[in-house]
Amino acid sequence: MTDPVLDRTAETSAGPVRYTVVGEGAPLILVHGTPTSAFLWRHVVRELAPFHRVHVYDLPGYGQSAQFADQDVSIGMQGRVLAELVDHWGLDRPLIAGHDIGGTIVLRAHLIEGVDVAGLALLDTLGVRPRGGGRWGTGLSRHVRLNDFAAFAGLPDFAQRGILRDYIASAMHRPAAPEVLERYMAPWLGEQGRAAFYRQMRQLDECYTDELELRYAALDRPVRLIWGEEDTWLNRVDHAERLHAAIPGSELVYLPGAGHFTPEDAPGATARAMRGFFGTLPDGG
């Protein structure tokens, strides 16, 4: 259970970002979502690094990156930060993969911030409103967005632990070992971590996907959607199939036995689905 060692720092519009670069080959950026960190990619990185130069980082406000009061960690800002990182790394048309809102961030970096890409892999990505046009998000995130921030940020750690444990476990189809859950929870504990957890939830907003939906028809780069068959956070009918239909020419691949956290539930299958798409492993290999 080794974390990626984020041994470098980049200054961005949303504060210092911790990252690392490993491997050789075509450049590939991995973007995690909420409520995770680069830890989500730990097994996938190991499988991709022999074939790609992998750039992995913690979003501002998450994991080992900076967390501070009044920080803008919105999806819009995260798209801008990703564009800044691509410039910082000096990359030209990289491959990019994003999970959950990480996929949304990737789409915004390309379609709104103007980052050119060779291809996009979108894993269990928040890209459209549910059928009927309602609000997206989990029950917890919708509840936090509708209620007082201070009441949540002031929770004692024992209550925060209980919320986090059940919340994170609900994103996995396979039960996680206690030490794995602890690692996912760690950045969101303590006074600073609790505030950061509810800050990022409060800043989730449908405007960021509504703006994208208007631009999908113009998306002309290769896109593969990779989805856990058992994803209950962003289900097949409301999200996977509708995003697939919205993006011209996109592929949709389901991973059996995986929930929302596909890189956690099925890291080998996730890496193979990505390598098959990115050209370092034939599909079915």
To the question of pTM greater than 0.85 for the whole model, the response is: yes
Rounded distance between C-alpha atoms, residue 241 and residue 278, angstroms: 22
Model confidence at 151, in pLDDT bands (50, 70, 90)? Answer: confident
Which residues does 237 contact at the CB level (< 8 Å), separation at least 6? 131
Tell me the mean pLDDT in the region 269-278: 96
Q: Which residues contact 27 (CB under 8 A, 6 or more apart)?
A: 52, 53, 55, 89, 91, 94, 95
* 189's tokens: 């504990």
Given this model, what pLDDT does residue 132 score?
67
- Please return the burial class of 171, using the count of CB atoms within 10 Å of its CB with bins 0-12, 13-18 and 19+: buried
Peptide bond into 60 cis (omega under 30): no
Mean pLDDT for the stretch of residues 39-55: 96
Q: Please identify which residue in the block is written with the tokens 């913690």.
A: 58
Q: What φ, ψ does residue 73 adopt, rounded to 5°?
A: -120, 25
Q: Which CATH number fits domain 8-136+205-278: 3.40.50.720, 3.40.50.1110, 3.40.190.10, 3.40.50.1820?
A: 3.40.50.1820
